[in-house]
């Protein structure tokens, strides 16, 4: 089951953000991703913040908060957005492009990286990246959704990836934390680490090229830049091989990350490239954001030819493709009635790291199978 997000969404140096259950009104009511927060500042001031993908509005106190801009930036990046438009009563507080690197606080590089011997990873893809670089022996702790490489089982577990025990993390005295913004809610970790002065690199790739750039960035930080170059070269070779094997016009693909409510990749997600490499096109690639909630009616209207279920945190042998057809409102889904719903291991499809291209290979095999059945 998905981890329940804490009601206190983040705790920064000078404020706490508490998510309200009420939906934002006015113009914000048209934005399904908008969230309303109560802000409590250390000086006793209480205000509001509304975060939407296209624009954000805060109380006047925000202009005096050094950490609120970073908090909103983290919220946006966790949802695949790469620009900020933060305002307060008509005044523009920030309006520019943003990137995960904007949130980095680690001061390590090519020359000193080899001395970074105490690393903590806060996402499965980050743990796998360090392993690919050949220095997993430097990892001293991780969170509970990481399961690869096998030796990870012997490490201290800091709790859920959306709510790790940051105070326990501090006591481990890491030289570097590889944090992540690949899932909404992870902004809590980035802001919390900032407040505790823990050096971190923030990874939130939206494409295969950005994953490879992260491999190089982490490789430089850990002093293994040459190994990172090799990992990137191998990934490029794998991608080229997949491109060569594509055949015929792309099929319409639905990839499901969670069944109730139904979540699927949107426009700002690396999954679109994996699907394209497999010979398909994401039927919801026109929806803004990295992950979008859809209804059964919307899926029927999208009319996918092939469906994949790849539920977050669910082992491959526990996936049940048949449940898609049995779901209320999907009785007429043609892909399901034709037996074109396939399980897809989320360890590859849901983790933007060195092993992600395996998801494209598995989808490609399923698509070839579907075509052969015509």
- Tens-digit pLDDT profile for residues 60-104: 988 889 899 999 999 999 999 999 999 999 899 999 999 999 999
List, in order, residues 6 or more apart from 154 with CB less than 8 Å away: none
Give me the chain's average pLDDT, please. 92
SS3 170: helix
pLDDT over 80 (residue 7): no
User: Band of the pLDDT at 374, cuts 50, 70, 90?
Assistant: low
User: Band of the pLDDT at 283, cuts 50, 70, 90?
Assistant: very high
Looking up tokens 């980050």, which residue turns up? 126
| Cα 201 off chain centre by | 15
User: Do 114 and 223 touch, CB atoms closer than 8 A?
Assistant: yes
Please give the average per-residue pLDDT across 242-261, as a whole number: 94
User: Do 199 and 106 touch, CB atoms closer than 8 A?
Assistant: yes
Which of 104, 60, 56 lies closest to 76 in space, CA to CA?
56
pTM for the full model?
A: 0.93
CA distances from 211 to 273, 275, 351, 354 (A): 12, 16, 10, 8
pLDDT over 90 (residue 36): yes
| Residue-range domains of the chain with CATH | 8-98 (no CATH), 102-238 (3.40.50.1980), 246-372 (3.40.50.1980)
Please give the average per-residue pLDDT across 217-221, as a whole number: 95
């Amino acid at each position: 089951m998905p981890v329940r997000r804490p009601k206190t969404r983040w705790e920064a140096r000078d404020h706490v953000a508490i998510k309200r259950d009420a939906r934002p009104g006015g113009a914000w009511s048209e934005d399904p991703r908008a969230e309303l927060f109560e802000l409590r500042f250390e000086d006793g001031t209480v205000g509001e913040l509304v975060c939407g993908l296209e624009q954000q509005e805060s109380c006047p106190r925000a202009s005096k908060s050094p950490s609120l801009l970073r908090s909103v930036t983290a919220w946006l990046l966790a949802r695949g957005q790469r620009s900020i438009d933060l305002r307060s009563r008509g005044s523009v507080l920030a309006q520019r492009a943003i990137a995960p690197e904007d949130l980095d606080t680690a001061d390590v590089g090519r020359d000193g990286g080899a001395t970074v011997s105490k690393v903590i990873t806060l996402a499965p893809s980050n743990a796998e990246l360090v392993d690919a670089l050949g220095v997993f022996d430097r990892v001293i702790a991780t969170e509970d959704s990481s399961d690869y490489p096998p030796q990870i089982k012997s490490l201290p577990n800091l709790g859920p990836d959306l709510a790790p025990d940051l105070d326990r993390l501090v006591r481990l005295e890491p030289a570097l934390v590889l944090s992540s913004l690949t899932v909404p809610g992870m902004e809590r970790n980035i802001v919390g680490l900032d407040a505790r002065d823990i050096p971190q690199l923030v990874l939130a790739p939206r494409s295969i090229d950005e994953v490879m750039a992260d491999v190089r960035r982490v490789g430089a930080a850990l002093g293994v830049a040459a190994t990172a170059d090799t990992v990137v070269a191998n990934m490029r070779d794998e991608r080229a091989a997949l491109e060569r094997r594509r055949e015929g016009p792309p099929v319409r693909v639905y990839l499901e990350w969670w069944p109730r409510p139904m979540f699927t990749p949107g426009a700002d997600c690396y999954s679109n490239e994996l699907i394209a490499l497999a010979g398909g096109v994401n039927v919801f690639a026109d929806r803004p954001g990295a992950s979008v909630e859809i209804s059964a009616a919307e899926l029927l209207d999208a009319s996918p030819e092939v469906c994949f279920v790849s539920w977050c945190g669910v082992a491959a042998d526990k996936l049940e493709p048949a449940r898609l057809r049995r779901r209320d409102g999907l009785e007429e889904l043609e892909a399901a009635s034709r037996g074109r719903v396939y399980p897809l291991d989320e360890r590859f499809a849901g983790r933007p790291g060195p092993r992600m291209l395996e998801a494209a290979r598995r989808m490609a095999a399923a698509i070839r199978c579907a075509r052969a059945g015509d």
